[in-house]
Amino acid sequence: MKIFYSEVHRQHYPPFEVFDGGKRVQYFENPDRMDKILAALKQTDWAEFSEPEDFGLDPILAVHDKDYINFLASCWEEWLDSDPEVAASPETHAFLPATFALRRTSRPTSSLLGRGGYYIMDLSACIVAGTYKAALASANCALSAAKEAISSQRSAFGLCRPPGHHAGKDYAGGYCFINNASVTANWLCAKGKTALLDIDYHAGNGTQDIFYERNDVLTISIHGDPDFEYPHYAGFADETGVGAGLGFHKNYPLAKDTGDEGYLSALDDALTMIREFAPQYLVLSTGMDTFDGDPLGKFHVTQNGFREIGKRIASLGLPTAIIMEGGYANAALGENICILLENFK
């Protein structure tokens, strides 16, 4: 299996994030995640590593607002120029606004912090000097996996960092800046009918935002119920698309403590929808934070569960761009992703 990976991701490593209650903690979405996955993949006899191709900005701007992407590109340098304290010790700082827009009537302002509060959804989408470059490289890993899936008519893995599925048309959130899976699905659907399945523990709110009014890509997310879990304001069962997109989005919000049996039941229903849609390509947003013991999840999916999840998705027989999303039980992360990927090789 071709694995597309870039070392550029290491340039994005904020010194902290802020949890509920204002607690400053070490950044959970850190380079150690990739190191654990790389180490596990290198122990297999089927992983073939490649540098991603540079696809330019066109595929990204096809789903993201241009002003938002411009904000990501310029934010750090603007902040350095505007704050002497940051310029004196940039390695201890991350750009985070303190005021966030209520989108019902809001608009971006000319001030940097005003734009930050408009284009950033929460306190985990921290921006540092290398964030934009890392996000571009991550999107290119995803697109390269899609291109390989087309040419080989098999599956390929975009080992993406930072992840993407919480990034909407014009906002960052949940460690995500460019929605890698959505950029990929949009690019693929010009080549053939495409479905996107999100198996990350958290609802793919950004993906839902991007495709919610469209009927050319079927989007499905299986996740912790937003009634108790991040992102809280999207991912409910009655959100099924609007306008032309009505019926082309499906959420499976699952209860706390869902284990293998409950998860696989939802997955079987989702796979039935995909078969009825009859796509030519599949994009798989692959979060491993459903794992029993993940510090940011409340599910109890086991390694046997991951093996069965991979087996059932692979049974669709579709060329699949597998896109890395979340997963924060780092000690087991590499083994977990290999267990799932083995079904697609």
Closest CA to 297 of 328, 323, 267: 328
State the chain's maximal CA–CA distance in angstroms.
Answer: 58
Q: Where is 331: in which H helix or E strand?
A: helix 330-341
Cα 221 to Cα 211: distance, rounded to the nearest angstrom: 12
Whole-angstrom CA distances from 312 to 2, 182, 185, 304, 315 are 21, 22, 21, 12, 5
Question: Token pair of 191, please?
Answer: 């080549």
How many other CB atoms are there within 10 angstroms of residue 333's CB atom? 25
CA 25 from centre of chain:
21
Residues linked to residue 24 through DSSP beta bridges, in sequence order: 18
* Catalytically annotated residue among 166, 202, 223, 300: 166
286: buried, middle or exposed (CB in 10 Å: 19+, 13-18, 0-12)?
A: buried
169 Cβ contact list (under 8 Å, min separation 6): 63, 64, 65, 68, 209, 210
Phi, psi of 238 (to 5 degrees): -85, 5
Is-catalytic flag, 232? no
Which residue has tokens 């959130």? 173
**Which residues lie below 8 Å from residue 93, measured CB to CB, with a gap of 6+?**
15, 85, 86, 128
For every residue of 283-325, DSSP letters joined together read EEEE--TTBTT-TT---BB-HHHHHHHHHHHHTT---EEEEE-
Structure tokens at 117: 């509060």
E strand or H helix at 180: helix 180-189
Annotated catalytic sites, by residue?
Answer: 166
